[in-house]
Structure 1
């Protein structure tokens, strides 16, 4: 479990939702793959000890979390996390990433990331749809032709690297899901956040309140809080059809098992078959 957010961002997230991005993934994997053992590492931290390539090859999977890092900015943190992903590709260990995790994998394989400018996906990515091979790709198995998902990001993948396949898109962000093959490795990733709860969506909106106001998605802090409170209320009472209607959400978001289907597909359709072929089945 590679936490690609800097220490201050991890602490800020813990203050608002009680856990870091890696801990959120851990909690979900405990349900998706009961009995699985995880190791959490921090590739962006200067003093962090990272597994060598040989050790990475011994893991069944690597997960990359979201992060506020900007991959198009040269910095020690971005170099370290990209170098880590290069090692994962070289080790041949299947990997999954959401949001910045997709961006890290794209850059490590030779693609590029850019800021979104005035555009935003704040709270939810709307009208996501498979494109090209995505319609039959196992990452999106079980998703309907059009769906929504939790999302909040200010950067996006600009260009996928050679050896990558675009799987899903929408009107705001062209590269919403992709498979990236590099060296011996294969990565499945999404720009949205199938791992987070509606409670965490509400907290993210509150943390980014100033940005939402600046980009005219909300008139003021009270408007952000009203919207976040509605999302949090739906988390607490997922059967409230009135809240789902007001937020324009359906069971693809409100039901946890459907919201996290990409991660379940990654485990069931890529990790477990690969594990079996590697002699650990």
Structure 2
């Protein structure tokens, strides 16, 4: 299968993430997808960059799936970067290629389809999104197949979907963000997305906390830089040993957030239940390079 990963970060943001976490957001997605689908080929695109040559609808139709990464992008701010990103997503919808996004990826798809995004009043999900529950539609939706009635997930965001576009289906939410999972359809284009991060490992959450330490203290999320470091160190320990009972107790998480295969449920479901059937309908050979 041919996967396209869309990076929302600017050059500077990609460099900052590589310096702290070892990979840009798109590179993290690539590594995750190569583990989930070892025979896939992956291409990265950076439409937020001014030098990026915008792909055509026909070019996008040549991929089996498009993935939108998370980023510090604020899609409610009209900048050259956000305008390019939403235009790119409109072309993805027009191509009919299945798409998936996490965090800012969900927000970009929402804005491109006519919904709205806003800043959260409080950063309640800086590390873990807790008590996510499926809606009635979500309980039978294949994106969430295998999830328990309530689950936690790795998450770190300061923006949220305010209103889904017309024709979208709300699949899950929690106390902090009404939209935690959704399906968005535009024409022949189908997007499945989540506000949390099924592609991330705990060590990458630790790196994000450290990158954002000053702002976490400034807005009152953390009482001090030492508190941020203590929390980051717990995520590092979880990364090293997801069965560490002390860490699970202190973070208050279960296997849904601690174990790699459980964190990735939505990505695996997207590939199995949307990408593979769409690829078959398009008549693409199983051994296509």
The match for 1:139 is 143
CA offset at residue 234 of structure 1? 1.4
Q: Distance in 2 between matches of 1:112 and 1:151?
A: 20
CA offset at residue 108 of structure 1? 0.5
Map 1:221-236 onto structure 2 (within 5 A).
221-236=225-240
The match for 1:260 is 264
Matched, 1:82 2:86: yes
Q: Distance in 1 between matches of 2:151 and 2:110?
A: 24
Matched, 1:111 2:100: no
User: Which stretches in structure 2 are left out of the alignment for 5+ residues?
Assistant: none
Map 1:1-281 onto structure 2 (within 5 A).
1-280=5-284, 281=286
Q: Distance in 2 between matches of 1:157 and 1:268?
A: 26
Q: Distance in 1 between matches of 2:48 and 2:70?
A: 12
Query: For residues 168-204 of structure 1, what are the alpha-carbon distances to aligned partners after superposition, in whole Å with 9 as ceiling and x for unaligned?
Result: 0000000010000001100000000010000001111
CA offset at residue 242 of structure 1? 1.1
Retained in 2: the 8 A contact 1:13–1:19? yes
Retained in 1: the 8 A contact 2:123–2:221? no
CA offset at residue 132 of structure 1? 2.1
Q: Distance in 1 between matches of 2:252 and 2:219?
A: 21
Q: Distance in 1 between matches of 2:29 and 2:71?
A: 13
CA offset at residue 119 of structure 1? 3.8
- Specify the SS of the correspondent of 1:167: strand
CA offset at residue 270 of structure 1? 0.3
Query: For residues 31-83 of structure 1, what are the alpha-carbon distances to aligned partners after superposition, in whole Å with 9 as ceiling and x for unaligned?
Result: 11111001101010000123211111111000000011111111000000000
After TM superposition, the structure 1 stretch with the greater mean CA deviation from structure 2, 207-216 or 27-36, is: 207-216
Normalised to the residue count of structure 1, the TM-score between the two structures is 0.98
Q: Distance in 1 between matches of 2:147 and 2:163?
A: 25
Query: For residues 112-151 of structure 1, what are the alpha-carbon distances to aligned partners after superposition, in whole Å with 9 as ceiling and x for unaligned?
Result: 0001023431001000010120011000011100000011
Retained in 2: the 8 A contact 1:132–1:166? no
Q: Distance in 1 between matches of 2:274 and 2:89?
A: 18
Normalised to the residue count of structure 2, the TM-score between the two structures is 0.96
User: Which stretches in structure 1 are left out of the alignment for 5+ residues?
Assistant: none
Q: Distance in 2 between matches of 1:176 and 1:209?
A: 24
- In the alignment of these two chains, the number of paired residues is 281
Retained in 1: the 8 A contact 2:123–2:157? no
- Specify the SS of the correspondent of 1:34: coil
After TM superposition, the structure 1 stretch with the greater mean CA deviation from structure 2, 104-113 or 233-242, is: 233-242
Retained in 2: the 8 A contact 1:41–1:50? no
Q: Distance in 1 between matches of 2:221 and 2:88?
A: 35
CA offset at residue 99 of structure 1? 0.2
